[in-house]
C-alpha cells in the first residue's frame, strides 16, 4: 500500500480520484468524465490519422474500409459511442447544476441522463443492425 | 471483560515518515454498542501505545476523529463498530485523503485551515452573528419562556454547522486532482460569511475570491462533499449558489448595472 505517501503534497494523483470505494454517483461521473475525455481526445487523433489514408489513394482507403468490417472495429465503435454519449450527457448535467439548475435533484438528473444514454445507445445498435 | 463485550477486528493503516505504510491487524474486546473511536482507544490502551489518531469531543462536535472507515469518510466517534463490522471484516481504518499524513491516522490540517482563512474573513469572525430570534415571556404560571423560531432558521443552522472535520476535502475528486482548489469547506465558508455580512465591500471581496483562481469554477459538480458531510452543511449547494451569484453579477455588468 502506498496510501500515506500519496497523501503527501503532490496531490495530482489519479489514484485518488479513481479510488471510488464508498463514493456516490458524482465521483463516478467525475472519474468517467475524465477517462472518456482522455479517450475521446485519443480517438480524435486516431481518426485524423485514419483520414490521412485518403491521401494514399482509393485502393488504400478501400482496403482500410474492408478491415473495419471486422467485429473488433464494431466493438471499438460501440465503445466510442458510449464515451460520446456519457461525456456529452454528463456535461449537460455539469452545466445545468453549475448554473444553479436542478442542484437539489442532481442525482435524479444524472440517473435520467444515463438512462437516456442507454436508450440512445440501444437505438444506435438497433439502427446499426438494421442497416448492416 | 463482561458478557456484554464483543471481539472486534480492525485493519489499521500504519505510517511513519520514511518508513512507508502498511496495514496492521488488531483484535480488541469492546463493549456492545461501542464506536470505532472507542475501539481505537482500546487498541491504544491495551495493545499499542504508538498508534496515532486524533480525538477530542467524542460526540461529533469537533471533527477531530474524521477518518476513512471501510473506504468511506466518517466520524469515528459516531460510527458503530457493529455496523462497520457488518460492512467489512476486519474493519479497515485509514486516514483522510487529500491531506498530508503525519502518522497513522493523523493528517496535517494546516493546509485545510490555510484555505479556510484565505480571505482573512472566512470562518474566523470577531463576533457571533445575531439570530433574529425574539424571546417573549410566557404567563408567570409557566417557568419556561417561549422562543419564536424564525421561519428561515435552517439557513443559520447550516451556516453554523461546519465542524471543520475535513471530510468534504477528503471526498472531493477535484481536490484530489487539483491542489490549487480552495475546496468545499472554504467555499461554503465564503458563502456563509457573505450571507452573514452586511458590508458591501466585504461581500464583493468574498465573491471575487470565490470567482478567482482556485474558486468555484474548479468544482466539477461531483456533490460528494454534500453527500458525505456529517453536519448537512451542503457545501456543493453553497458552491452552486455562489456560481449563480457570480453569473448574476456578470449579467448585471453586461447591462451596465
Cell 490519422: give the residue.
A49
d(CA B191, CA B193): 6
Helix and strand counts by DSSP (H, E) for chain B = 10, 9
- Asked if B85 contacts B11 with a C-beta cutoff of 8 angstroms, the reply is no
Fold of B5-107: Ubiquitin-like (UB roll) (3.10.20)
- Asked if B190 contacts B210 with a C-beta cutoff of 8 angstroms, the reply is yes
Q: What number is the average pLDDT over the span A111-120? A: 96
Q: What is the pLDDT of residue B133?
A: 52
Compute the CA torsion angle B56, B60, B65, B66 (nearest 10 deg).
-160
**Closest partner CB to B173 (pick from A10, A17, A97):** A17
- Asked if B18 contacts B73 with a C-beta cutoff of 8 angstroms, the reply is no
- The residue ranges of every structural domain in chain B are 5-107, 110-254
Report helix angle B200-211 to B184-196, nearest 10: 160
Which chain A residues are within 8 Å of B179, Cβ to Cβ? 9-12
Query: Which grid cell is B245?
Result: 451569484
Q: Does A24 reach chain B within 8 Å, measured CB to CB?
A: yes
Which chain A residues are within 8 Å of B220, Cβ to Cβ? 30, 33, 94
Query: Which grid cell is B249?
Result: 453579477
> What 8-state DSSP symbol labels residue B96?
P
Q: Which residue has the higher pLDDT, A63 or A89?
A: A89
In terms of CATH architecture, what is B110-254? Orthogonal Bundle (1.10)
What DSSP letter does each residue of B79-132 carry, written as one string? SBHHHHHHHSSSEEEEPPSSS-EEETTEE--HHHHHHHTTTSSSS--SSPPPP-
Which chain B residues are within 8 Å of A3, Cβ to Cβ? 13, 15, 21, 94-95, 101
d(CA A99, CA B56): 39
Cell 472507542: give the residue.
B38
Size of interface A-B (CB pairs under 8 A): 112
Give one word for B145, left, alpha or beta, with left for phi > 0 and alpha for psi -120 to 50. beta
For testing the chain B interface, which of A3, A4, A96 should be mutated: the one with the most B CBs within 10 Å? A4
- Nearest Cα of chain A lies from the Cα of B134 at a distance, in angstroms, of 31
Query: Which grid cell is B65?
Result: 476523529
The percentage of chain A sitting over the pLDDT mark of 70, rounded to a whole number, equals: 89
Please provide the average confidence, as pLDDT, over all residues in chain A: 86
Structurally, how many domains does chain A consist of?
1
Which chain A residues are within 8 Å of B68, Cβ to Cβ? 22
Question: What is the ipTM, given to two decimal places?
Answer: 0.77
d(CA B177, CA B130): 39
Give CA separation, A58 vs A63, A64, A66, B56, in Å.
Answer: 8, 10, 12, 75
Helix (H, G, I), strand (E, B) or coil at B140: coil
Q: What is the pLDDT of residue B154?
A: 57
Q: What number is the average pLDDT over the span A37-51? A: 94
- Asked if A61 contacts A54 with a C-beta cutoff of 8 angstroms, the reply is yes
CATH number of the domain that residue A41 is part of = 1.20.1300.10
Q: Does B244 reach chain A within 8 Å, measured CB to CB?
A: yes
For testing the chain A interface, which of B174, B180, B220, B235 should be mutated: the one with the most A CBs within 10 Å? B220
Per-residue pLDDT tens, chain B, 257 aa: give them.
555 788 999 999 999 998 888 999 999 999 888 999 999 999 999 999 999 999 999 998 889 999 999 999 999 999 999 999 999 999 999 999 999 999 999 999 988 888 877 655 444 444 555 555 555 554 555 444 455 666 666 555 444 688 889 999 999 999 988 878 999 999 998 888 888 777 888 888 889 999 988 899 999 999 999 999 999 889 999 999 999 999 988 888 888 77
Q: What is the pLDDT of residue B111?
A: 85
Q: Do A12 and B23 touch (CB under 8 A)?
A: no
Amino acid at each position: 500500500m502506498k496510501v500515506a505517501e500519496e497523501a503527501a503534497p503532490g496531490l495530482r494523483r489519479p489514484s485518488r480520484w479513481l479510488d471510488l470505494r464508498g463514493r456516490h454517483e458524482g465521483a463516478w461521473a467525475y472519474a468517467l468524465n475524465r477517462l472518456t475525455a482522455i479517450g475521446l481526445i485519443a480517438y480524435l487523433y486516431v481518426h485524423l490519422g485514419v483520414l490521412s489514408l485518403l491521401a494514399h489513394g482509393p485502393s488504400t482507403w478501400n482496403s482500410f474500409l474492408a478491415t473495419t468490417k471486422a467485429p473488433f472495429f464494431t466493438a471499438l465503435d460501440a465503445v466510442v459511442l458510449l464515451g460520446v454519449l456519457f461525456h456529452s450527457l454528463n456535461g449537460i448535467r455539469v452545466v445545468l447544476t453549475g448554473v444553479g439548475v436542478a442542484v437539489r435533484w442532481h442525482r435524479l438528473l444524472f440517473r435520467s441522463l444515463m438512462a437516456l444514454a442507454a436508450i440512445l445507445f440501444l437505438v444506435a445498435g438497433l439502427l446499426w443492425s438494421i442497416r448492416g | 471483560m463482561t458478557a456484554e463485550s464483543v471481539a472486534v477486528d480492525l485493519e489499521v493503516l500504519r505510517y511513519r515518515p520514511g518508513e512507508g505504510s502498511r496495514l496492521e491487524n488488531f483484535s480488541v474486546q469492546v463493549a456492545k454498542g461501542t464506536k470505532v473511536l472507542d475501539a481505537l482507544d482500546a487498541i491504544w490502551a491495551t495493545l499499542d501505545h504508538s498508534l496515532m489518531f486524533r480525538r477530542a469531543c467524542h460526540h461529533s462536535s469537533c471533527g477531530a476523529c474524521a477518518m476513512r472507515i471501510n473506504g468511506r469518510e466518517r466520524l469515528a466517534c459516531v460510527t458503530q463498530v457493529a455496523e462497520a463490522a457488518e460492512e467489512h471484516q476486519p474493519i479497515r481504518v485509514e486516514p483522510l485523503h487529500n491531506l498530508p499524513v503525519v502518522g497513522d491516522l493523523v493528517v496535517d490540517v494546516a493546509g485545510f485551515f490555510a484555505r479556510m482563512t484565505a480571505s482573512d474573513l472566512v470562518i474566523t469572525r470577531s463576533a457571533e452573528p445575531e439570530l433574529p430570534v425574539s424571546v417573549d415571556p410566557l404567563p408567570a404560571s409557566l417557568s419556561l419562556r417561549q422562543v419564536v423560531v424564525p421561519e428561515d432558521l435552517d439557513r443559520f443552522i447550516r451556516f453554523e454547522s461546519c465542524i471543520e472535520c475535513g471530510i468534504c476535502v477528503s471526498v472531493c475528486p477535484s481536490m484530489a486532482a487539483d491542489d490549487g482548489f480552495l475546496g468545499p469547506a472554504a467555499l461554503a465558508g465564503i458563502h456563509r460569511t457573505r450571507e452573514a455580512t452586511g458590508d458591501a465591500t466585504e461581500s464583493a471581496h468574498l465573491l471575487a475570491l470565490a470567482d478567482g483562481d482556485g474558486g468555484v469554477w474548479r468544482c466539477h459538480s461531483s456533490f460528494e462533499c454534500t453527500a458525505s458531510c456529517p453536519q448537512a452543511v451542503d457545501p456543493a449547494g453553497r458552491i452552486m449558489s455562489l456560481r449563480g451569484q457570480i453569473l448574476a453579477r456578470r449579467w448585471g455588468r453586461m447591462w451596465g448595472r
